[in-house]
Structures are given as structure tokens and as C-alpha cells.
């Protein structure tokens, strides 16, 4: 089954008929269906599938000996996400194995296709939860206490999905190299007129929970000057974050807010909002977040509200293996593929930080839109991506 047939099979899984976007949250029915799909697609190729207690999967082509080469990505989505962020890398990994077999390649080392769970952190809040636990970057004793929006503990979500416990995964111990192919989440490749690009690194980024607390009161009878309204403190903080990031060429987003009690005719008692911040260096990221917290605190003082900030997941700067990137980039008949940085997070960043030599391939996205139902890549570009990935893997296993 080729790339397009696999893609066609995945298309309906977790798709909303209202928006056309995807809801493939971890340890839900849609994600379970994708996990089974992957196991079947691997079995149909004679690959051996290993699954850990969290549901991370690797489909192994047991060949040769020594350190393994791993490729892959994730199958979960953000809420109402696109089809490509994640699945493109998984399907391309399987398709690249087909290409190697058609070419008669006999790998001298094991080759695996991986799927890491909860890459988006859309359910339990921590980005790249599956790869963080599998590499030992995060401890299970901490992770098991995480709760989703409905208050379900991670450990209970796993039991309900028929899985076990997370933690360091020995399957990854023998991995000598990781290559993740991903849809581009910007327009760099469009501007450069290239179907494929190679990653140089990932911007540092983090998620910070801002809890603004005030005093609930009547919307009609409470004079404006008597209020302690946390919504005002939050609103000014969102504007300040936007301004700071825009002036510095960085990124700051409040994309998730919870209001209590969330009634039309009451001043709220509490607003919880999540800041996603990204910058080109760790120093500038800390500076950006510090300035936003300082301005929010000053405004809280004026509003008579309080503020508590908790970092939920912070990822440092990642530089991918420069030699590997240069070799992949040079593998293009009409001149090198561009080597570009990304401000999006990836499991590849977690593996790189854990000491695994890592590379990324990006496939052109005509609009650059991502984390949205509008995310797209043309089939012709996806096939160029499969071929670039196959060439890379062939070189690594030969």
C-alpha cells in the first residue's frame, strides 16, 4: 500500500464533520484507532511492533546489527488540528521503508518507525509527553499525577485505554540516530521555492499557566471602581505579551483560557490562561516571560487581584546534528535543500536533547497554516519528502 492509500485510510479518523479539523487526543477512541492502524500497517510489512506502557510504538525492521536508525513522528493532533502535523512523518516513514525494499536495500543496522504519544500536549498539558517519558527526560512519578481538563489522572486515562505505565523505554537505548519528517509550519519553503527543507534547530519554547484571582460580584450592582476583576488583569496581560513579542521578533500566545464561574452577569472570581512563548535563544525567552510576568503583576496590583505563574513545560534550544543536516541537504540533484530553523516543537527536539544525533526534514506547506483544519501539503511535495527520507535512511543504514 503506497503513500496515498495510507493517507486515504487515515483521512476520516478523528475528523470533525463540523470544521473538517482533527480531534486525535491521546488515549481517546480516535487515537486508539490510529494506534491499531499503525500496528496493522507495520504487520503488513513484516515489521515487529513494540509498544510501551504509554502507547508509544516502534515498528522494527530487524536487520543487521549495532545502533538502530529511527524515523517517525506522532499521530495525535491539537484540538481541531490539521491532517499533516504528525501523521505525515509516520506515513512517510512506512512509505520510505517500502521504497528501500523496492530498491533491494539490505540494512546493516536495525531501522524503526516510531509513533510518540501526546506530542502536542493537548490533553495533559506537557508538550512531547511520550518522548519525554520514554527518554527519561520526565519521571513517571511526576507525570502520573497530571490531570486533563476533566480532572482525569494520566494513570487512569492509561488504564482506561488498556495501557500500563510510562517511564524510560529500553527500546530507545540502542537508537543511534533519529530522523523526523514533518509538514512545514510556516512559509519559508514556499518563499524559497523548495519542496523539502532540512532542520537546523528548534527555538526554545515554553508553556506557562497564569492564574489570576479576584472577587466574584454582581455585574449590575457593583460599581466599576469597586471591582477586583481578574479578567481585566488577564486582558491587559494578553495585550502586553503580544506587544513584547512583536517588538522583539519573538512569539507569545494566549490560546487557552478558563473563566470561573463563567457567567454573563457576574464579575469572575478566577481566570486561568496559558501563555505559549517562544524565542530564538534561551536568554531572550526568559526575558520575554519575565517582562510579561512583571507587567501582569503590576496590573494585578492596580486591579486588586492576585497572580500565580507556573511553568508547565519548558524546552531549551535545540541544534540538530549539523553534519547530518548538511549531508541530507546535499542529497538533491538541483542544488542543496535549504537548511532552516523552526519555532515549532517536535519529539526530535527531545531526542536531540537526550543525546541522540537527530535530523528533521520539512515538507512545503503552501499557506504555512498549521494547528488548523487548513493545514495542507500537496501530494507531489509529500512524495518528494518520502523520497528524500528514503535516501537519508538508505545512507544511514548502508
Which residues bind to ligand GLV, rule: CB under 6 A?
A: 120, 127, 344-345
Q: Residue 179 has which C-alpha cell? A: 530522523
Q: How far is the CB of 359 from ligand GLV (least distance, A)?
A: 18
Minimum CB distance to Mn ion smaller for 85 or for 184: 85
Q: How far is the CB of 148 from Mn ion (least distance, A)?
A: 18
- In sequence order, the 6+-apart residues with CB closer than 8 A to the CB of 284 are 248, 250
Q: How far is the CB of 225 from ligand GLV (least distance, A)?
A: 41
Site for Mn ion in 68-97 (CB under 5 A): 85-86
Return the one option of ligand GLV, Mn ion, none that residue 86 interacts with (CB less than 5 to 8 A, by type).
Mn ion
Minimum CB distance to ligand GLV smaller for 125 or for 345: 345
> Is position 375 an interface residue for Mn ion (rule: CB under 5 A)?
no
> Is position 121 an interface residue for Mn ion (rule: CB under 5 A)?
no
Minimum CB distance to Mn ion smaller for 90 or for 194: 90
Helix residue spans in the chain (DSSP H): 3-10, 29-44, 87-102, 129-135, 140-143, 154-160, 188-192, 230-248, 282-303, 322-329, 347-353, 379-397
d(CA 38, CA 212): 43
* Pair 22, 80: CB distance under 8 Å: yes
The burial of 137, by beta-carbon neighbours within 10 Å (0-12 exposed, 13-18 middle, 19 or more buried), is given as middle
Q: How far is the CB of 320 from ligand GLV (least distance, A)?
A: 15
Minimum CB distance to Mn ion smaller for 86 or for 167: 86
Return the one option of Mn ion, ligand GLV, none that residue 127 interacts with (CB less than 5 to 8 A, by type).
ligand GLV
d(CA 352, CA 267): 47
Minimum CB distance to Mn ion smaller for 52 or for 85: 85
Return the one option of ligand GLV, Mn ion, none that residue 184 interacts with (CB less than 5 to 8 A, by type).
none
Q: How far is the CB of 101 from Mn ion (least distance, A)?
A: 27
Return the one option of ligand GLV, Mn ion, none that residue 117 interacts with (CB less than 5 to 8 A, by type).
none
Minimum CB distance to Mn ion smaller for 125 or for 268: 125
d(CA 144, CA 142): 6
d(CA 115, CA 98): 18
Minimum CB distance to ligand GLV smaller for 52 or for 120: 120
Beta strands in 130-280 (DSSP E): 175-183, 196-202, 205-213, 217-218, 251-260, 266-267, 270-278
> Is position 230 an interface residue for Mn ion (rule: CB under 5 A)?
no
Apex CA 83: angle with CA 135 and CA 1, to 5°? 85
d(CA 384, CA 218): 60
Q: How far is the CB of 23 from ligand GLV (least distance, A)?
A: 16
Q: Which residues bind Mn ion (CB under 5 A)?
A: 85-86
Amino acid at each position: 500500500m503506497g503513500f496515498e492509500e495510507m493517507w486515504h485510510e487515515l483521512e476520516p479518523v478523528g475528523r470533525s464533520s463540523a470544521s473538517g479539523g482533527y480531534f486525535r487526543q491521546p488515549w481517546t477512541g480516535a487515537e486508539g484507532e490510529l494506534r491499531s492502524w499503525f500496528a496493522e500497517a507495520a504487520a503488513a510489512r513484516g515489521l515487529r511492533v513494540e509498544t510501551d506502557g504509554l502507547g508509544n510504538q516502534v515498528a522494527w525492521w530487524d536487520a543487521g546489527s549495532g545502533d538502530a536508525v529511527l524515523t517517525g513522528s506522532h499521530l495525535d493532533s491539537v484540538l481541531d488540528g490539521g491532517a499533516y502535523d504528525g501523521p505525515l512523518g509516520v506515513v512517510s516513514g512506512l512509505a520510505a521503508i517500502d521504497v528501500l525494499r523496492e530498491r533491494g536495500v539490505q540494512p546493516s543496522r536495525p531501522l524503526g518507525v516510531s509513533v510518540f504519544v501526546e506530542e502536542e500536549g493537548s490533553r495533559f498539558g506537557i508538550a512531547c509527553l511520550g518522548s519525554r517519558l520514554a527518554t527519561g527526560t520526565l519521571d513517571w512519578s511526576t507525570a502520573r499525577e497530571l490531570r486533563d481538563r476533566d480532572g482525569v489522572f494520566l494513570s487512569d486515562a492509561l488504564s482506561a485505554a488498556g495501557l500500563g505505565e510510562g517511564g524510560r523505554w529500553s527500546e530507545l537505548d540502542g537508537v543511534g540516530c533519529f530522523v523526523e519528517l514533518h509538514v512545514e509550519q510556516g512559509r519559508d519553503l514556499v518563499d524559497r521555492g523548495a519542496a523539502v527543507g532540512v532542520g537546523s534547530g528548534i527555538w526554545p519554547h515554553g508553556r506557562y499557566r497564569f492564574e489570576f484571582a479576584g472577587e466574584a460580584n454582581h455585574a449590575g450592582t457593583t460599581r466599576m471602581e469597586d471591582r477586583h476583576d481578574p479578567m481585566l488583569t488577564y486582558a491587559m496581560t494578553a495585550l502586553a505579551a503580544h506587544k513584547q513579542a512583536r517588538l522583539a521578533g519573538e512569539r507569545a500566545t494566549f490560546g487557552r483560557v478558563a473563566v470561573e464561574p463563567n457567567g454573563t452577569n457576574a464579575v469572575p472570581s478566577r481566570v486561568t490562561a496559558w501563555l505559549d512563548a517562544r524565542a530564538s535563544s534561551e536568554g531572550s525567552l526568559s526575558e520575554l516571560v519575565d517582562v510579561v510576568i512583571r507587567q501582569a503583576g503590576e496590573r494585578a496590583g492596580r486591579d486588586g487581584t492576585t497572580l500565580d505563574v507556573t511553568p508547565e513545560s519548558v524546552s531549551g534550544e535545540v541544534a540538530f546534528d549539523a553534519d547530518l543536516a548538511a549531508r541530507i541537504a546535499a542529497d538533491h540533484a538541483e542544488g542543496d535543500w535549504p537548511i532552516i530553523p523552526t519555532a515549532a516543537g517536535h519529539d526530535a527536539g527531545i531526542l536531540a536533547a537526550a543525546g541522540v544525533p537527530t535530523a528533521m526534514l520539512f515538507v512545503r506547506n503552501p499557506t504555512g497554516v498549521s494547528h488548523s483544519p487548513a493545514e495542507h501539503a500537496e501530494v507531489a511535495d509529500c512524495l518528494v519528502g518520502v523520497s528524500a527520507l528514503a535516501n537519508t535512511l538508505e545512507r544511514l543504514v548502508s
